[in-house]
């Protein structure tokens, strides 16, 4: 097990000072023990989720990956709620993917994406906590020779009611491990929750304040060498020729290697020396068929798709084309969304140790099991002889989930140097060039209004890239990517359209460029919400109606969508005058959507100067995720979502020229910084009754709320992101 250590609040000062006291210059001892050295049966494991040590320490196992989103703390809260343990004694650890494999997936799915951590595992982790409590109570009752029904547990103490005797979890843990797990595991009524629903401080803050948190990039193993790598920047290209003579003579260089047929790596004693030598390798690429590909050329392909006769249908009712033909007024617009890089602050990296018998990998991953599968394949060994140690992620955002291209590379390097651990780190440039990019799409929207300005028909034609086609092509059925319609589905409870439109057609003409796509935080909800929510504003304007009133008239059958929209409208006093800021008039824009099981809405307040300078002053956001496990963490995810969403809206774009991405670092791939960050006010509707995700949905309302506010301010519709290309001076 990889222990995720965190001091309790009480122990903070002592633990931190001892960590610094033990600090020594020079190379550290290995920070992560191998699984074999630890032995998972050496501790009193009540069940796979709960270990209780004799000193009453409670170890809660977390199968999902913590990457900043707070799932570690939220999942621990869910287990501890049912366990009735003392929260101050809780610590956590990751089971490894190899252990999950060996124990028949006892911990279930380890994938951490799609805002799934809590909403997909709340039931079984709570049952894990409840089952452990039942066994601990039974063990105490057995010891006293009384009925378990006469005993209760609270705060890690078990009490026998009639006699008043008590004991602690730690004292009966060993006995509890020998009991048969209960078959019937009732869970608490949510109204009795004590930990769930509370803004409990997260468990992983202290080590992030003093440099002691270890990320994949920080890992050190005895005898380790470091690798820098450069793959063909034209996707699909290969190595042509390599001249490595100069590089091989440079200080510290041990090896210059081919990795697969498309990348060159330098292995050296330090990463900086490896990187410096890599820059000195002369590589000639065989760029292949994509050598002349460009964003401009692909835009023409997508444009053709906007009017193509064939498209996969995502949502249809009535006859949209007939309604449009018979409309009193027709509105039409074309929108576009570019490629974008996840740009995790920690670049991709993995440490691999390969021998003919076994392969181990240490890496920040959102999906330990997928990392294990990639390791086994690259190692040429069965998964049972491989192991992946999950290391804390310096950002994930989807890049570290579905595709483990960097793990395969690290293993491919290590395989050429058996018995030596190799830590491979991507430079920022490599990370930018070798992304798995936000899909590029366009959308043509056509709406029909009757004489009273009511929406009678809508046709929404999406044209462009499919993530699923790039990553899980086996999930494409009859040319249809089911994930392409996120936020636009008729039903399903996951990502449904919030409007009832009498005649509706939403379809997708799939057009895939050679740029590899990835699940980018928010996935397809991002562009779909922009397309729909900005066009709803256009329709309202064409109908001469207030954007809020226009939406509300279509939302009668969508009460949860409406509730979050109403919540933000009420909070900003929609319709009331805004106060100028620094002499600039302030304008509002709205957006709402449904994704990852949660309902979200936002109202942005912006001003645009005479020179066309945009300032986003304030955003009010509402989230209904049903059960809100840790409201403070949800608020942090909402705030962070606006940084991610506004970065995408204002600045971030990856363009292709000569087959390769043009933006190689943060100087050209710009993201939001503090000077542009608006104030964010978060409303959490604790409606209960369902479990929605929170890490992603709010991103999707950031851009449309701002774009609609810009229209209110300037009369200009910005339909192609990023905004940096737009002239916002009033027309």
Partner 1 sequence: MAKLNVNGRIMDIQVEADTPLLWVLREQLGLTGTKYGCGVAQCGSCTVHVDGAAVRACAMPVSAFNEGQKIVTIEGLSPDSSHPIQQAWLALEVPQCGFCQPGMIMAASALLAANPKPTEAQIREEMTNICRCGTYNRVLAGIQRAAGIGTSG
By rule CB under 8 A, what string of x and - marks binding of each residue 416-445 to partner 1?
A: ---------x-xxx----------------
Contact between 315 and 497 (Cβ < 8 Å): yes
Is residue 346 near partner 1 by the rule CB under 8 A?
yes
Contact call for residue 149 and partner 1 (CB under 8 A): no
Interaction of residue 387 with partner 1, rule CB under 8 A: no
Please give the DSSP secondary-structure letter assigned to residue 489: B
Q: 3-state DSSP call for residue 151?
A: strand
Q: At a CB cut-off of 8 Å and minimum separation 6, what does 230 contact? A: 263, 264, 265, 278, 281, 283, 430
For residue 645, give the 3-state DSSP assignment. Answer: helix
Residue 557 interacts with partner 1 (CB under 8 A): yes or no: no
The alpha carbon dihedral of 637, 638, 644, 647 has a sign of negative
d(CA 727, CA 288): 38
- Return d(Cα 11, Cα 15) in angstroms, integer: 6
Task: Give CA–CA dist 256/202, Å, rounded.
Answer: 44
Cα-based distances in Å from 673 to 483, 496, 538, 644, 652: 31, 32, 30, 10, 12
Task: State yes or no: residue 213 binds partner 1 (CB under 8 A).
Answer: yes
Burial class from Cβ neighbours inside 10 Å (0-12, 13-18, 19+) for residue 213 reads: middle
Total number of residues binding partner 1 (CB under 8 A)? Answer: 74
CB of 369 to partner 1, least distance (A): 21
Select 262 or 698, whichever has its Cβ closest to partner 1: 698
Q: Are 406 and 230 in contact (CB under 8 A)?
A: no
Map residues 37-76 to x or -, x wherever contact with partner 1 holds by CB under 8 A. Answer: ------------------------------xxxx------
CB of 630 to partner 1, least distance (A): 11
Report, in Å, the least distance between residue 550 CB and partner 1: 31
Residues with Cβ within 8 Å of 335's Cβ and at least 6 positions away in sequence, in order, are: 442, 443, 445, 527, 530, 531, 534, 535, 719, 720
Non-local (6+) Cβ contacts of 471 within 8 A are 402, 403, 436, 517, 518, 519
Residue 124 or 215 having the CB closest to partner 1: 215
Q: 309 and 463 in contact (C-beta within 8 Å)?
A: no
Q: Which stretch binds partner 1 (CB under 8 A): 256-264, 283-291, 393-401, 604-612?
A: 393-401
Among 177, 503, 512, 641, binds partner 1 (CB under 8 A): 641
Q: Are 255 and 229 in contact (CB under 8 A)?
A: no
Q: Is 397 in the site for partner 1 (CB under 8 A)?
A: yes
Interface pick for partner 1 out of 122, 202, 444, 461 (rule CB under 8 A): 202
Contact between 205 and partner 1 by CB under 8 A: the answer reads yes
Bridge partners, residue 607, by sequence: 615
Judged by CB under 8 A, which of 3, 345, 490, 549 binds partner 1? 345
Among 116-124, 139-147, 343-351, 533-541, which window interacts with partner 1 (CB under 8 A)? 343-351
Interface with partner 1 (CB under 8 A), residue from 47, 159, 212, 355: 212
Nearest CB to partner 1, comparing residues 99 and 226: 226
Which helix (H) or strand (E) segment holds residue 679: the answer is strand 679-684
State which of residues 209, 249, 304, 490 lies at the interface with partner 1 (CB under 8 A).
209
Report the half-sphere exposure of 440 (CA within 13 A, side-chain side). 29
- 381: tokens are 């060994």
Using alpha carbons only, how large is the chain's radius of gyration in Å? 27
Segment interacting with partner 1 (CB under 8 A) among 202-210, 407-415, 483-491, 554-562: 202-210
251 binds partner 1 (CB under 8 A): yes
Could you say which of 108, 288, 395, 631 contacts partner 1 (CB under 8 A)?
395
- Interface segment toward partner 1; rule CB under 8 A; list 404-412, 502-510, 528-536, 643-651: 643-651
Least separation in angstroms between residue 541's CB and partner 1 is: 31
* DSSP letter assigned to residue 281: S
Q: Restricting to residues 669-698, which ones interact with partner 1 according to CB under 8 A?
A: 671-675, 677, 679-680
CB of 471 to partner 1, least distance (A): 22
CB nearer to partner 1: pick between 25 and 310: 25
CA 182 to mean position of chain CA atoms: 35
Identified binder of partner 1 from the candidate list 124, 144, 193, 215, rule CB under 8 A? 215
Q: Shortest Cβ distance from residue 277 to partner 1 (Å)?
A: 11
What is the nearest approach in angstroms of partner 1 to the Cβ of residue 447?
34
Cα 137 from Cα 398, distance rounded (Å)? 41
Q: Smallest distance, Å, CB 269 to partner 1?
A: 9
Which residues make beta-bridge pairs with 296? none
Q: According to the binding rule CB under 8 A, does residue 267 interact with partner 1?
A: no
Of 40-48, 207-215, 234-242, 588-596: span binding partner 1 (CB under 8 A): 207-215
Task: Give the range of 316-324, 368-376, 608-616, 633-641 binding partner 1 by CB under 8 A.
Answer: 633-641
Residue 636 engages partner 1 in binding (rule: CB under 8 A): yes
Tell whether residue 499 is a contact of partner 1 (CB under 8 A). no
385 binds partner 1 (CB under 8 A): no
Q: Does 456 bind partner 1 (CB under 8 A)?
A: no
* Greatest pairwise CA separation for the chain in angstroms: 85
CB of 411 vs partner 1, minimal distance in Å: 22
Q: Does position 88 bind partner 1 by CB under 8 A?
A: no
Of 316-324, 369-377, 445-453, 662-670, the window that binds partner 1 (rule: CB under 8 A) is 662-670
CB 177 within 8 Å of CB 44: yes
The C-alpha atoms of residue 125 and residue 131 are separated, in whole angstroms, by 10
Taken as a whole, the chain contains a residue count of: 731
Rounded to 5°, the CA angle 375-378-384 comes to 45
Alpha-carbon distance of 431 to 215, in angstroms, equals: 17
The reply to whether 584 sits near partner 1 by the rule CB under 8 A is no
Specify the residue, 273 or 444, whose C-beta has the smaller distance to partner 1: 273
| 459 backbone dihedrals φ, ψ, rounded to 5° | -120, 125
Q: How many CB atoms lie within 10 A of CB 160?
A: 20
- By CB under 8 A, tell whether 621 contacts partner 1: no
Q: Does 720 bind partner 1 (CB under 8 A)?
A: no
Interface region with partner 1, contact rule CB under 8 A, candidates 170-178, 240-248, 392-400, 527-535 = 392-400
- Count Cβ atoms below 10 Å from residue 357 Cβ, excluding itself: 8
The answer to whether the CB of 700 falls within 8 A of the CB of 487 is: yes
Instruction: Enumerate residues 6+ apart whose C-beta is below 8 A from 453.
Output: 329, 542, 543, 544, 545
What is the footprint of partner 1 within residues 219-238 (CB under 8 A)? Answer: 220, 226
640 binds partner 1 (CB under 8 A): yes
Q: Which CB atom, from 482 or from 640, has the smaller least distance to partner 1? A: 640
- The answer to whether residue 472 forms part of the interface with partner 1 (CB under 8 A) is no
């Amino acid at each position: 097990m990889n222990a995720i250590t965190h001091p309790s609040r009480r122990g903070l000062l002592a633990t931190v000072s001892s960590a610094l006291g033990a600090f020594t210059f020079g190379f550290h001892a290995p920070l992560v023990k191998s699984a074999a050295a630890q032995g998972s049966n050496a501790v009193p494991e009540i069940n796979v989720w709960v270990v209780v040590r004799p000193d009453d320490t409670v170890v809660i196992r977390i199968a999902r990956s913590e990457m900043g989103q707070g799932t570690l703390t939220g999942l621990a809260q869910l287990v501890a709620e049912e366990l009735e343990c003392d929260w101050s004694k809780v610590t956590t650890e990751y089971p490894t993917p190899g252990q999950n494999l060996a124990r028949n997936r006892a911990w279930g799915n380890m994938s951490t994406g799609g805002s799934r951590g809590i909403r997909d595992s709340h039931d079984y982790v709570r049952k894990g906590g409840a089952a452990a409590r039942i066994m601990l109570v039974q063990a105490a009752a057995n010891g006293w020779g009384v009925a378990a029904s006469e005993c209760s547990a609270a705060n890690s103490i078990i009490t026998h009611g009639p006699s008043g005797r008590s004991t602690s979890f730690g004292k009966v843990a060993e006995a509890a491990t020998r009991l048969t797990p209960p078959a019937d595991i009732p869970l608490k009524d949510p109204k009795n929750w004590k930990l769930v629903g509370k803004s409990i401080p997260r468990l992983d803050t202290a080590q992030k304040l003093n440099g002691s948190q270890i990320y994949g990039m920080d890992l050190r193993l005895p005898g380790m060498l470091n690798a820098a790598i450069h793959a063909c920047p034209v996707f699909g290209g290969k190595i042509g020729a390599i001249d490595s003579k100069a590089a091989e003579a440079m200080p510290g260089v041990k090896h210059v290697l081919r990795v697969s047929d498309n990348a060159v790596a330098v292995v050296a004693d330090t990463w900086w020396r490896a990187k410096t030598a890599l820059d000195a390798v002369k590589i000639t690429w065989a760029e292949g068929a994509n050598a002349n590909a460009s964003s401009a050329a692909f835009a023409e392909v997508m444009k053709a798709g906007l009017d193509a006769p064939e498209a996969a249908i995502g949502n249809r009712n009535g006859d949209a084309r007939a309604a449009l033909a018979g409309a009193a007024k027709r509105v039409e617009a074309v929108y576009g969304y570019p490629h974008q890089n996840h740009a995790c602050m920690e670049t991709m990296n993995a440490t691999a140790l390969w021998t003919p018998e076994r392969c181990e990998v240490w890496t920040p991953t959102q999906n330990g099991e997928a990392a294990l599968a990639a390791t086994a394949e690259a190692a040429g060994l069965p998964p049972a002889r491989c192991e992946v140690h999950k290391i804390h992620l310096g950002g994930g955002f989807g890049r570290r989930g579905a595709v483990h291209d960097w793990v395969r590379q690290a293993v491919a390097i290590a395989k050429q140097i058996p018995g030596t651990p190799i830590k491979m780190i991507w430079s920022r440039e490599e990370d930018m060039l070798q992304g798995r990019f936000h899909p590029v799409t366009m959308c043509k929207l056509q709406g029909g209004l009757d004489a009273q300005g009511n929406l009678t028909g809508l046709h929404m034609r999406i044209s462009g890239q499919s993530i699923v086609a790039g990553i899980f092509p086996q999930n494409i059925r009859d040319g249809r990517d089911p994930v392409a319609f996120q936020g636009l589905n008729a039903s399903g409870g996951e990502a449904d359209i919030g409007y009832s439109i009498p005649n509706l057609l939403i379809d997708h003409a799939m057009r895939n460029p050679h740029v590899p796509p990835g699940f980018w935080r928010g996935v397809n909800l991002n562009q779909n919400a922009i397309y729909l929510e900005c066009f709803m504003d256009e329709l309202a304007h064409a109908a001469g109606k207030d954007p809020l009133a226009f939406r509300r008239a279509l939302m009668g059958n969508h009460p949860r969508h409406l509730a979050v929209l109403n919540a933000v409208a009420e909070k900003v006093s929609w319709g009331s005058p805004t106060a100028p800021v620094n002499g600039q008039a302030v304008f509002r824009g709205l957006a709402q959507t449904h994704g990852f099981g949660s309902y979200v809405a936002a109202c942005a307040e912006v001003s645009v100067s005479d020179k066309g300078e945009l300032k986003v002053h304030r955003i009010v956001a509402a989230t209904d995720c049903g059960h809100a496990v840790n409201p403070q963490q949800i608020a942090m995810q909402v705030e962070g979502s606006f940084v991610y969403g506004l970065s995408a809206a204002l600045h971030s774009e990856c363009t292709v020229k000569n087959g390769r991405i043009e933006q190689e670092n943060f100087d050209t791939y710009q993201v939001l910084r503090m000077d542009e960050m608006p104030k964010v006010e978060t409303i959490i509707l604790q409606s209960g009754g369902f479990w929605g995700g929170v890490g992603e949905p709010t991103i999707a309302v950031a851009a449309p709320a701002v774009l609609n506010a810009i229209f209110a301010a300037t009369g200009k519709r910005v339909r192609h992101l990023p905004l940096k290309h737009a002239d916002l001076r009033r027309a």
